[in-house]
Structure 1
Amino acid sequence: MTRSPATPLPPPKARRRLRETAALTQTQLADRVGVTPATVRAWESGRTTPRGRKREAYAKLLKTLAEEETVQAPEPEPESKLEPEAKPQTQPEPEAKPQPEPQPQPQPQPVAAPEPVALTPAQAFDALYAFSAPALVRQTFLLTGRREQARESVERAFQAAWEHWPEVARDRDPVGWVRATAYEYALSPWQRLRPRHRHPEPPPADPGDRTLLNTLLRLPPRHRRTLVLYDGVGLDLPETAAETEASTPATANRLLRAREAVAGRLPALADPQVLHRRLAELASNERLRAAEPPTVRRGGERRARLRTRAAIAFTVALIGTTALTVRTAPTHYEPPVSPGQAVRGVPQRVAPGALSDEELELRQKLRDQVQDGPERLSPRLE
């Protein structure tokens, strides 16, 4: 079975130019194609490429915009290649008066384009934080159902991004880097061991939002994360699989199971478009605020200093323990002392005193016997 060739698409810059020429916003174009604005932004930046039916619809829309741009553009007037026929002259024409030579007009000097201002690392980090932090906090709230944990997870992720800023700044998708780190921290099993996790937070005020949030929290963490990324954030299937570190078939299976679980409890959310809108409403109805960028940067730097000092203290303690061990350790082998054993047949030691009759008899017997063994035999001549 052979696949049909994919529908050709213009380059990413041309896609954006066609949309801007038609005076369409990314949200309006996303509604016409049936995707989210984040997906359109990824298509126009070249970060992702549409596939399947979305690709066909997107290519058809871009073709329509290109045709409208061609129709609206003024057609150049064709130059006449025929010269007027010469008329017979019956009378001499009067001599033309000399026209004054036109004075040369001053040409406008080209204005140099302003050079782009290079941002410092702190300014670039603050811009990234201000752009993506509020949305990331709302998305993380859908994963955890806890407002403070969502805010803390996003702050920890940005602190990690500040520590690895050269790597994050060169990444194709810095927001995706931070989002993956925040989700990993929010869904960590160690969060259950914290004392704050034992105290539940007040649920949403709206009954529909409360039911939807409880349905999400009942899903397994991997299924919940896949559903939020695909139907909440608007990533396509390959991007969701890459961010969750799973294969595309496994990610599709998780997404289908998560949708079935949600639709089983809330049949009105069986439509993916309705589910996407309800997830956005649930995240937007909560008052979730993120800290200021300088505060996050200072917190990350302070945490890095504490870790560095702890590592130095541990290293110094390890070196001191090693030196003490080398100083006090024996320099030669000392065999272990064997455990004592009881010896039978030896009389117990008693204090000196008068000897008993038996002891006197034994002493006399020992004295009478030859102490040096048997007598020595001397050879005699017979």
Structure 2
Amino acid sequence: MTPNPASPLPPPTERRRLREAGSLTQDQLAERLGIPGRTVHAWETGRTTPRGRRREAYVALLAELSRVEAKVTDRPDKHPALPEPAPAAAPLTPAQAFDALYGFCAPALVRQAYLLCGRRGLASESVERAFQLAWQRWPEVAVDRDPAGWVRATAYEYALSPWHRLRPSHRHPEPPPRDADDRALQDVLLELPPPYRRTLLLHDGVGLGLPETAAETEASTPATAGRLLHAREVIAGRLPELADPPVLHRRLAELASAERLNPPGPPAVRTDGERRSRFWTRTAIASTVALIGATTFTLRTAPTHYEPPVPAGVRVQGVPPRVALGPLSQEETRLRTKLRRAAAHGPERLLPVSR
């Protein structure tokens, strides 16, 4: 069948980039198109090319992803191979662009964070905090080449933070998944070290390539490949039926979709983020004022000149040392005898007489 000239199709690498920018897995995109997940993988690697109605639906979905990405980043440039969308009546405000990014990425990010930490509340909190930080830095995030990846990396780092284990809410385990196979897969995932777990999720779960996974995890490509192979070996040793990467990819998507995790609405996230930002700003101002006050008080009360410390006591010269009582010398004995005899004579002295 001759390709329809009215439906231009971007190159395979651009198809994959648009899907990743939308935080969609291959299975999720295939579910929206009603096709098998391996078909999307073949399209993104260039082994096959969609035709007929599948091509039309695929082109329309990629065009939608491109429009959402252009709205989020607020950039007029589009991929030349995609059909140009109709010009907007008015440019999006920052709040509208943020809401578009949140609505497009938050549901998938919550499920991915749940695979990382195994806690439903922490998964929602991680995504919420990541978007709050994105709203605080929106001028920076809006012009980023991959705003969805920026938020994803922030949510992953928060979900894997080791400080969460000190929180009182984490002293009690959460109920495991209902399905036995899901429980077994989750147990194996949580036994992996956090860097290995994150690498496996990005590569086999989200569908990023090895260089992109290495860049997002801030590791070299050989180190990322070693982590990925080790994680696959551990999972295959415990669950032999998941030794095939496509099967593991499907099971990760099923495990993430089994939990009903609904993040809060974007207005609530923006409001909470602004409230949190005001709180920490006021705290920083109060701390600065207290520091300035303490410094001023110290300067007011501090001595203006150097006062040497009082030295330790020294022995005074010229004073004879005190002697303890002891036997009288011969001269002192004669003097005492003389004084006692002289006291009995003379009109000026009285001598007591015992009766």
Aligned match of 1:289 in 248, 253, 262? 262
Please identify the structure whose Cα radius of gyration is greater: 1
SS at match of 2:304: coil
Question: Which residue number corresponds to residue 173 of structure 2?
Answer: 200
CA deviations 1:35-55 (Å, max 9, x no partner) are 299xx5xxxxxxxxxxxxx35
Distance 1:345 1:128, change over 3 A: same
Distance in structure 1 (CA, Å) of the matches to 2:208 and 2:311: 74
- Unmatched 5+ residue regions in structure 1? 1-12, 41-53, 70-112, 349-356, 362-382
Alignment partner of 1:180 out of 153, 162, 167:
153
CA-CA distance at 1:138 after TM superposition: 0.3
Q: Give distance in 2, aligned partners of 1:30 and 1:328.
A: 78
- What is the Cα deviation at residue 153 of structure 1? 0.5
Q: Which runs of 4+ in 1 moved over 6 A?
A: 17-20
Equivalent pair of 1:136/1:154 in contact (CA under 8 Å): yes
Separation in structure 2 between the aligned mates of residue 15 and residue 252 of structure 1, nearest angstrom? 31
- 2:297 pairs with 1:324: yes
Deviates more, 1:26-35 or 1:260-269: 26-35
Q: CA deviation at 1:195?
A: 1.3
Look up the match of 1:235: 208
Q: 1:285 to 1:264 in 2, by over 3 A?
A: same
Tell me whether 1:15 sits opposite 2:9 in the alignment. yes
Query: What are the equivalent positions in structure 2 for 1:216-365 lying under 5 Å apart?
Result: 216-341=189-314, 345-347=320-322
1:89-140 Cα offsets, whole Å, 9 max, x none, are: xxxxxxxxxxxxxxxxxxxxxxxx7544311111111111111101100000
Tell me the TM-score normalised to structure 1 length. Answer: 0.65
TM-superposed CA distance for 1:342, in Å, is: 5.9
SS at match of 1:15: coil
Q: Deviations over 1:139-162 (max 9, x none)?
A: 000000000001000000000000
| Higher helix residue share | 2
Residues 31 and 186 of structure 1: is their aligned pair in 2 closer, same or farther, counting only changes over 3 Å?
A: closer
Q: Distance in 2 between matches of 1:132 and 1:183?
A: 13
- From the superposition, tell whether residues 26 and 214 of structure 1 become closer, same or farther in structure 2 (CA, over 3 Å): closer
Unaligned 5+ runs, structure 2 = 1-6, 16-27, 57-85, 324-330, 336-355
* One-letter amino acid of the structure 2 residue matched with residue 173 of structure 1: D
Partner of 2:41: 35
Please give the TM-score of this superposition, normalised by the length of structure 2.
Answer: 0.70
SS in 1 for 2:49: helix
1:24-79 per-residue CA deviation (whole Å, 9 max, x = no partner) reads: x9626884556299xx5xxxxxxxxxxxxx35x1xx537x88xx99xxxxxxxxxx
Query: How far does residue 289 in structure 1 lie from its aligned partner after superposition?
Result: 1.1
Report the AA paired with residue 155 of structure 1.
Answer: E
User: Amino acid of the residue matched to residue 41 of structure 2?
Assistant: V
Q: 2:188 aligns with which of 210, 215, 219?
A: 215
Deviations 1:297-342 (A, max 9, x none): 0110011001100110111011011101111111111010012256
Q: CA–CA distance in 2 between the matches of 1:149 and 1:225?
A: 16
Give 2:295's aligned amino acid.
T
TM-aligned CA deviation for residue 293 of structure 1: 0.7
1:32 & 1:233 partners in 2: Cα distance?
14
Give the secondary-structure state (helix, strand or coil) at the position aligned to 1:346. coil
- Single out whichever of 260-269 and 184-193 deviates more from structure 2: 184-193
- More displaced 10-residue stretch of structure 1: 252-261 or 114-123: 114-123
Cα distance between partner residues in 2 of 1:144 and 1:340: 67
Contact 1:36 1:234 in 2 (8 A): no
Provide the C-alpha distance between the structure 2 equivalents of 1:323 and 1:145, rounded to a whole number of angstroms: 51
Cα separation, partners in 2 of 1:32 and 1:221, compared to 1, 3 Å: closer
Aligned pair in 2 of structure 1 residues 346, 36: CA closer, same or farther (>3 Å)? farther
Q: 1:325 to 1:128 in 2, by over 3 A?
A: same
- RMSD of aligned Cα (Å): 3.3
How far off is 1:16 after superposition? 3.8
Q: CA separation in 2, counterparts of 1:282 and 1:327?
A: 65
